Amino acid sequence: MNVMIVAAGTGGHITPGISIANKIKREEKNCNIVFVGTKNGMENDILAKEGYKVIHIRAEGIRREFTMENIRRVVNLILGIGDAKRAIRKFKPDIVIGTGGYVTFPIFKVATKMGIPTVLHESNSIPGKVVTMMSSKVDTIMLGFEDAKNKIKGAKNIIYTGTPTKMSTYIPPTNLKEKLGLKNDLPILLITGGSQGAKKLNEEIINILTNGKSKKYQVVFVTGPKQYNTVIEKIRQRGYEIEQLENVHILNYVYNMEEYMSVADVIISRAGALSLTEICIMGIPSIIVPYPYAAENHQVYNAQIIQAKGAGIVITEDKLTVDSLNDTLESIIYNKEKLEQMRNQAKKLAVLNVEDRIYSEIKRLVNDNRKQI
Protein backbone atom coordinates (compact mmCIF):
# COMPACT_ATOMS: atom_id res chain seq x y z
CA MET A 1 0.00 0.00 0.00
CA ASN A 2 1.38 3.41 -1.01
CA VAL A 3 0.11 6.05 1.42
CA MET A 4 0.48 9.81 1.02
CA ILE A 5 -0.25 11.85 4.15
CA VAL A 6 -0.66 15.63 4.08
CA ALA A 7 0.08 16.99 7.54
CA ALA A 8 1.90 20.29 7.97
CA GLY A 9 2.20 23.61 9.74
CA THR A 10 1.43 22.87 13.39
CA GLY A 11 1.69 20.02 15.85
CA GLY A 12 -2.10 19.80 15.77
CA HIS A 13 -1.89 18.73 12.12
CA ILE A 14 1.38 16.79 12.18
CA THR A 15 0.84 14.57 15.24
CA PRO A 16 -2.46 13.06 14.01
CA GLY A 17 -0.77 12.36 10.68
CA ILE A 18 2.08 10.56 12.42
CA SER A 19 -0.37 8.58 14.53
CA ILE A 20 -2.21 7.39 11.41
CA ALA A 21 1.08 6.55 9.68
CA ASN A 22 2.30 4.52 12.65
CA LYS A 23 -0.95 2.56 12.73
CA ILE A 24 -0.72 1.74 9.02
CA LYS A 25 2.91 0.62 9.45
CA ARG A 26 1.87 -1.75 12.23
CA GLU A 27 -0.93 -3.26 10.15
CA GLU A 28 0.61 -3.31 6.65
CA LYS A 29 3.88 -5.18 6.24
CA ASN A 30 4.42 -3.90 2.71
CA CYS A 31 3.58 -0.21 2.85
CA ASN A 32 5.31 2.91 1.62
CA ILE A 33 4.40 6.10 3.46
CA VAL A 34 5.37 9.61 2.47
CA PHE A 35 4.34 12.95 3.97
CA VAL A 36 3.72 16.18 2.10
CA GLY A 37 4.77 19.53 3.57
CA THR A 38 6.57 22.76 2.78
CA LYS A 39 10.32 23.41 2.84
CA ASN A 40 10.19 25.66 5.89
CA GLY A 41 7.47 23.99 7.95
CA MET A 42 8.02 22.55 11.42
CA GLU A 43 6.90 19.20 10.02
CA ASN A 44 10.41 18.64 8.64
CA ASP A 45 12.10 18.38 12.04
CA ILE A 46 9.28 16.41 13.65
CA LEU A 47 8.90 13.92 10.80
CA ALA A 48 12.67 13.43 10.52
CA LYS A 49 12.70 12.36 14.18
CA GLU A 50 9.93 9.86 13.38
CA GLY A 51 11.81 8.50 10.36
CA TYR A 52 9.38 9.67 7.68
CA LYS A 53 10.25 11.23 4.32
CA VAL A 54 8.71 14.60 3.39
CA ILE A 55 7.91 15.69 -0.16
CA HIS A 56 7.88 19.49 -0.48
CA ILE A 57 5.38 21.51 -2.45
CA ARG A 58 4.67 25.22 -2.59
CA ALA A 59 1.66 26.35 -0.56
CA GLU A 60 0.57 29.36 1.50
CA GLY A 61 -2.67 30.65 2.98
CA ILE A 62 -4.59 33.09 0.80
CA ARG A 63 -6.16 36.15 2.37
CA ARG A 64 -9.30 37.89 1.19
CA GLU A 65 -7.88 41.38 0.66
CA PHE A 66 -6.34 42.50 -2.66
CA THR A 67 -2.62 43.11 -2.10
CA MET A 68 0.59 42.36 -3.97
CA GLU A 69 1.47 39.90 -1.22
CA ASN A 70 -1.79 38.06 -1.76
CA ILE A 71 -1.20 37.94 -5.52
CA ARG A 72 2.15 36.31 -4.82
CA ARG A 73 0.40 33.75 -2.59
CA VAL A 74 -2.13 32.94 -5.34
CA VAL A 75 0.70 32.40 -7.83
CA ASN A 76 2.41 30.14 -5.29
CA LEU A 77 -0.80 28.14 -4.90
CA ILE A 78 -1.03 27.62 -8.67
CA LEU A 79 2.60 26.49 -8.73
CA GLY A 80 1.81 24.23 -5.76
CA ILE A 81 -0.90 22.47 -7.77
CA GLY A 82 1.75 21.70 -10.38
CA ASP A 83 4.03 20.40 -7.61
CA ALA A 84 1.17 18.25 -6.34
CA LYS A 85 0.60 16.68 -9.77
CA ARG A 86 4.25 15.75 -10.09
CA ALA A 87 4.42 14.36 -6.54
CA ILE A 88 1.31 12.21 -7.00
CA ARG A 89 2.34 10.89 -10.42
CA LYS A 90 5.76 9.94 -9.10
CA PHE A 91 4.65 8.30 -5.84
CA LYS A 92 1.42 6.72 -7.19
CA PRO A 93 -0.50 6.63 -3.86
CA ASP A 94 -3.22 4.07 -3.23
CA ILE A 95 -4.78 6.60 -0.86
CA VAL A 96 -4.24 10.23 0.14
CA ILE A 97 -4.93 11.24 3.75
CA GLY A 98 -5.07 14.84 4.98
CA THR A 99 -4.93 16.08 8.56
CA GLY A 100 -4.39 19.78 7.85
CA GLY A 101 -2.09 22.56 6.69
CA TYR A 102 -1.96 24.83 3.64
CA VAL A 103 -0.54 22.00 1.53
CA THR A 104 -3.77 20.05 1.86
CA PHE A 105 -5.69 21.96 -0.84
CA PRO A 106 -3.32 21.51 -3.80
CA ILE A 107 -2.79 17.82 -3.08
CA PHE A 108 -6.48 17.08 -2.66
CA LYS A 109 -7.44 19.20 -5.66
CA VAL A 110 -5.25 16.93 -7.78
CA ALA A 111 -5.95 13.61 -6.04
CA THR A 112 -9.74 13.91 -6.29
CA LYS A 113 -9.52 14.75 -10.02
CA MET A 114 -7.31 11.71 -10.58
CA GLY A 115 -9.80 9.40 -8.86
CA ILE A 116 -7.44 8.42 -6.03
CA PRO A 117 -9.22 7.45 -2.76
CA THR A 118 -9.10 10.41 -0.39
CA VAL A 119 -9.68 10.91 3.33
CA LEU A 120 -9.74 14.19 5.23
CA HIS A 121 -9.60 14.26 9.01
CA GLU A 122 -11.11 17.34 10.71
CA SER A 123 -9.97 17.60 14.32
CA ASN A 124 -11.89 20.73 15.29
CA SER A 125 -15.54 21.33 16.10
CA ILE A 126 -15.69 23.97 13.34
CA PRO A 127 -14.60 22.56 9.96
CA GLY A 128 -11.64 24.24 8.26
CA LYS A 129 -11.71 25.79 4.79
CA VAL A 130 -10.28 22.80 2.95
CA VAL A 131 -12.84 20.43 4.47
CA THR A 132 -15.62 22.85 3.56
CA MET A 133 -14.35 23.33 0.01
CA MET A 134 -13.59 19.66 -0.67
CA SER A 135 -16.43 18.04 1.29
CA SER A 136 -18.36 16.86 -1.78
CA LYS A 137 -15.24 15.64 -3.61
CA VAL A 138 -13.33 13.53 -1.06
CA ASP A 139 -14.43 9.99 -0.32
CA THR A 140 -14.57 10.21 3.47
CA ILE A 141 -14.41 12.94 6.09
CA MET A 142 -13.46 11.83 9.60
CA LEU A 143 -14.32 13.95 12.62
CA GLY A 144 -12.59 14.62 15.92
CA PHE A 145 -15.75 16.27 17.34
CA GLU A 146 -19.17 14.80 16.56
CA ASP A 147 -20.64 18.33 16.69
CA ALA A 148 -18.85 19.18 13.41
CA LYS A 149 -21.06 16.83 11.38
CA ASN A 150 -23.95 19.28 11.04
CA LYS A 151 -21.58 21.96 9.73
CA ILE A 152 -20.41 19.97 6.70
CA LYS A 153 -22.61 19.99 3.60
CA GLY A 154 -22.69 17.63 0.64
CA ALA A 155 -20.21 15.06 1.93
CA LYS A 156 -20.23 11.55 0.45
CA ASN A 157 -19.38 9.90 3.75
CA ILE A 158 -18.80 11.29 7.25
CA ILE A 159 -17.71 9.21 10.23
CA TYR A 160 -16.94 10.19 13.80
CA THR A 161 -13.61 8.70 14.78
CA GLY A 162 -12.12 11.07 17.36
CA THR A 163 -8.69 12.62 16.87
CA PRO A 164 -5.67 10.34 16.49
CA THR A 165 -2.73 11.00 18.77
CA LYS A 166 0.47 9.22 19.73
CA MET A 167 -0.69 9.43 23.33
CA SER A 168 -2.04 6.36 25.07
CA THR A 169 -4.05 5.83 28.23
CA TYR A 170 -1.15 3.69 29.43
CA ILE A 171 1.93 5.66 30.44
CA PRO A 172 4.96 3.62 31.55
CA PRO A 173 6.33 4.42 35.03
CA THR A 174 8.29 7.67 34.91
CA ASN A 175 11.04 9.21 36.99
CA LEU A 176 10.14 12.69 35.78
CA LYS A 177 9.45 13.95 39.29
CA GLU A 178 12.92 12.89 40.32
CA LYS A 179 14.53 14.39 37.19
CA LEU A 180 12.84 17.77 37.69
CA GLY A 181 13.08 17.71 41.47
CA LEU A 182 9.31 17.82 41.95
CA LYS A 183 7.92 17.37 45.45
CA ASN A 184 5.25 14.87 46.41
CA ASP A 185 3.49 17.14 48.92
CA LEU A 186 2.62 20.04 46.56
CA PRO A 187 0.21 19.95 43.57
CA ILE A 188 1.74 20.23 40.10
CA LEU A 189 0.53 22.73 37.50
CA LEU A 190 1.49 22.09 33.86
CA ILE A 191 1.26 25.06 31.49
CA THR A 192 1.50 24.76 27.71
CA GLY A 193 0.53 27.00 24.83
CA GLY A 194 1.01 24.27 22.23
CA SER A 195 3.76 23.98 19.62
CA GLN A 196 3.50 27.66 18.70
CA GLY A 197 3.46 29.04 22.24
CA ALA A 198 0.94 31.59 23.57
CA LYS A 199 2.15 35.17 24.08
CA LYS A 200 -0.71 36.61 26.17
CA LEU A 201 -1.04 33.48 28.29
CA ASN A 202 2.70 33.43 28.90
CA GLU A 203 2.62 37.07 30.04
CA GLU A 204 0.00 36.38 32.70
CA ILE A 205 1.87 33.27 33.86
CA ILE A 206 4.98 35.45 34.28
CA ASN A 207 2.89 37.79 36.45
CA ILE A 208 1.80 34.88 38.66
CA LEU A 209 5.34 33.56 38.99
CA THR A 210 6.96 36.91 39.80
CA ASN A 211 4.19 38.05 42.16
CA GLY A 212 4.84 35.07 44.40
CA LYS A 213 1.34 33.65 43.87
CA SER A 214 2.67 30.24 42.86
CA LYS A 215 4.53 29.32 46.04
CA LYS A 216 1.84 26.89 47.22
CA TYR A 217 2.09 24.68 44.14
CA GLN A 218 4.72 23.56 41.63
CA VAL A 219 4.86 24.86 38.07
CA VAL A 220 6.12 23.16 34.92
CA PHE A 221 5.92 25.91 32.30
CA VAL A 222 6.37 24.91 28.63
CA THR A 223 6.69 28.21 26.77
CA GLY A 224 7.01 27.03 23.18
CA PRO A 225 10.32 27.51 21.29
CA LYS A 226 9.34 30.91 19.85
CA GLN A 227 8.49 32.36 23.26
CA TYR A 228 11.16 30.85 25.50
CA ASN A 229 13.80 33.60 25.25
CA THR A 230 11.14 36.30 25.60
CA VAL A 231 9.77 34.67 28.76
CA ILE A 232 13.24 34.36 30.33
CA GLU A 233 14.05 37.99 29.49
CA LYS A 234 10.78 39.30 30.94
CA ILE A 235 11.38 37.37 34.15
CA ARG A 236 14.83 38.95 34.36
CA GLN A 237 13.31 42.39 33.80
CA ARG A 238 11.25 41.76 36.93
CA GLY A 239 14.49 41.21 38.83
CA TYR A 240 14.53 37.39 38.91
CA GLU A 241 16.71 34.65 37.53
CA ILE A 242 14.93 31.35 36.85
CA GLU A 243 16.77 29.67 39.70
CA GLN A 244 15.25 32.18 42.14
CA LEU A 245 11.67 31.17 41.32
CA GLU A 246 10.72 28.58 43.91
CA ASN A 247 9.11 25.36 42.61
CA VAL A 248 9.19 26.61 39.00
CA HIS A 249 10.57 24.72 35.99
CA ILE A 250 10.61 26.52 32.62
CA LEU A 251 11.09 24.53 29.39
CA ASN A 252 10.94 25.60 25.76
CA TYR A 253 9.41 22.41 24.34
CA VAL A 254 8.84 18.78 25.29
CA TYR A 255 8.44 15.83 22.92
CA ASN A 256 7.16 13.41 25.57
CA MET A 257 4.18 15.51 26.68
CA GLU A 258 2.33 12.44 27.94
CA GLU A 259 5.02 11.94 30.57
CA TYR A 260 4.53 15.49 31.84
CA MET A 261 0.74 15.16 31.74
CA SER A 262 0.92 11.96 33.76
CA VAL A 263 2.31 13.82 36.80
CA ALA A 264 0.17 16.99 36.52
CA ASP A 265 -2.77 17.77 38.80
CA VAL A 266 -4.03 20.65 36.63
CA ILE A 267 -3.13 21.85 33.13
CA ILE A 268 -3.48 25.32 31.61
CA SER A 269 -3.71 24.98 27.84
CA ARG A 270 -4.85 26.40 24.55
CA ALA A 271 -7.88 24.73 22.94
CA GLY A 272 -6.45 23.08 19.87
CA ALA A 273 -8.22 19.82 19.10
CA LEU A 274 -5.12 17.72 19.64
CA SER A 275 -4.34 19.33 23.01
CA LEU A 276 -7.89 18.76 24.24
CA THR A 277 -7.89 15.18 22.95
CA GLU A 278 -4.73 14.44 24.91
CA ILE A 279 -6.04 16.19 28.03
CA CYS A 280 -9.15 13.99 27.95
CA ILE A 281 -7.19 10.79 27.32
CA MET A 282 -5.01 11.58 30.34
CA GLY A 283 -7.99 12.77 32.41
CA ILE A 284 -6.46 16.07 33.54
CA PRO A 285 -8.57 18.90 35.01
CA SER A 286 -7.97 21.89 32.76
CA ILE A 287 -8.11 25.65 32.53
CA ILE A 288 -8.52 26.40 28.84
CA VAL A 289 -7.54 29.69 27.21
CA PRO A 290 -8.64 29.50 23.54
CA TYR A 291 -6.49 31.21 20.93
CA PRO A 292 -8.76 34.09 19.83
CA TYR A 293 -7.52 34.31 16.23
CA ALA A 294 -7.97 30.67 15.25
CA ALA A 295 -9.81 30.13 11.95
CA GLU A 296 -13.60 30.37 12.36
CA ASN A 297 -12.97 30.86 16.10
CA HIS A 298 -12.80 27.07 16.36
CA GLN A 299 -10.75 27.01 19.58
CA VAL A 300 -13.53 28.77 21.48
CA TYR A 301 -16.05 26.18 20.27
CA ASN A 302 -13.68 23.34 21.10
CA ALA A 303 -13.22 24.71 24.62
CA GLN A 304 -16.92 25.23 25.21
CA ILE A 305 -17.58 21.53 24.58
CA ILE A 306 -15.06 20.59 27.30
CA GLN A 307 -16.48 23.15 29.75
CA ALA A 308 -20.09 22.07 29.09
CA LYS A 309 -19.18 18.53 30.20
CA GLY A 310 -17.53 19.76 33.40
CA ALA A 311 -14.03 18.66 32.40
CA GLY A 312 -12.48 22.11 32.20
CA ILE A 313 -12.94 25.83 32.84
CA VAL A 314 -12.70 28.33 30.00
CA ILE A 315 -11.16 31.79 30.28
CA THR A 316 -11.34 33.71 27.01
CA GLU A 317 -8.28 35.81 26.25
CA ASP A 318 -10.17 39.11 26.59
CA LYS A 319 -10.98 38.10 30.19
CA LEU A 320 -7.50 36.75 30.91
CA THR A 321 -5.73 38.63 33.71
CA VAL A 322 -3.33 37.58 36.43
CA ASP A 323 -6.23 37.71 38.92
CA SER A 324 -8.78 35.81 36.80
CA LEU A 325 -6.23 33.10 36.06
CA ASN A 326 -4.94 32.84 39.60
CA ASP A 327 -8.43 32.87 41.17
CA THR A 328 -9.64 30.14 38.80
CA LEU A 329 -6.57 28.04 39.46
CA GLU A 330 -6.79 28.34 43.24
CA SER A 331 -10.49 27.44 43.14
CA ILE A 332 -9.62 23.94 41.91
CA ILE A 333 -5.97 23.03 42.50
CA TYR A 334 -6.43 22.49 46.27
CA ASN A 335 -9.95 21.02 45.97
CA LYS A 336 -9.43 17.26 45.74
CA GLU A 337 -13.13 16.49 45.27
CA LYS A 338 -13.46 19.00 42.43
CA LEU A 339 -10.31 17.71 40.75
CA GLU A 340 -11.61 14.14 40.88
CA GLN A 341 -14.93 15.18 39.34
CA MET A 342 -13.15 17.01 36.52
CA ARG A 343 -10.81 14.06 35.94
CA ASN A 344 -13.74 11.67 35.59
CA GLN A 345 -15.58 13.99 33.20
CA ALA A 346 -12.46 14.41 31.05
CA LYS A 347 -12.01 10.65 30.77
CA LYS A 348 -15.64 10.26 29.69
CA LEU A 349 -14.92 12.55 26.73
CA ALA A 350 -11.94 10.51 25.58
CA VAL A 351 -12.56 8.51 22.39
CA LEU A 352 -10.72 5.18 22.43
CA ASN A 353 -9.56 3.00 19.53
CA VAL A 354 -9.39 6.04 17.24
CA GLU A 355 -6.59 4.65 15.07
CA ASP A 356 -8.45 1.35 14.63
CA ARG A 357 -11.52 3.18 13.31
CA ILE A 358 -9.43 5.27 10.93
CA TYR A 359 -7.40 2.33 9.64
CA SER A 360 -10.56 0.30 9.03
CA GLU A 361 -11.94 3.06 6.79
CA ILE A 362 -8.63 3.51 4.95
CA LYS A 363 -8.44 -0.24 4.26
CA ARG A 364 -12.04 -0.28 3.00
CA LEU A 365 -11.45 2.57 0.56
CA VAL A 366 -8.24 1.07 -0.81
CA ASN A 367 -9.82 -2.38 -1.27
CA ASP A 368 -12.96 -0.96 -2.90
CA ASN A 369 -10.83 1.04 -5.34
CA ARG A 370 -8.71 -1.99 -6.23
CA LYS A 371 -11.84 -4.01 -7.03
CA GLN A 372 -12.92 -1.34 -9.51
CA ILE A 373 -9.58 -1.26 -11.35
In order, the DSSP letters of 86-143 are HHHHHH--SEEEEEESTTHHHHHHHHHHTT--EEEEE-SSS--HHHHHHTTTSSEEEE
pLDDT score recorded for residue 11: 82
The mean of the pLDDT values for the chain is 90
Range of weakest confidence among 66-75, 156-165, 203-212:
66-75
Average pLDDT for residues 31-43, to the nearest whole number? 92
Report all structural domains of the chain as residue ranges with CATH numbers, in order of start. 2-165+352-372 (3.40.50.2000), 176-349 (3.40.50.2000)
* Whether pLDDT at 69 is above 80: no
DSSP class per residue in 174-197: --HHHHHT--SSS-EEEEE--TT-
- The pLDDT of residue 172 is 63
DSSP reduced 3-state for 47 = helix
Residue 129 is predicted with a pLDDT of 87
Q: Tens digits of per-residue pLDDT, 214-243?
A: 668 999 999 988 889 999 999 999 998 888
pLDDT at 256 (0 to 100): 82
More confident site: 8 or 3: 3
The b-or-e profile of 139-164 (16+ CB within 10 A means b, else e) is bbbbbbbebbeebbeebeebeebbbb
What is the C-alpha separation between 339 and 330, in angstroms, rounded?
Answer: 11
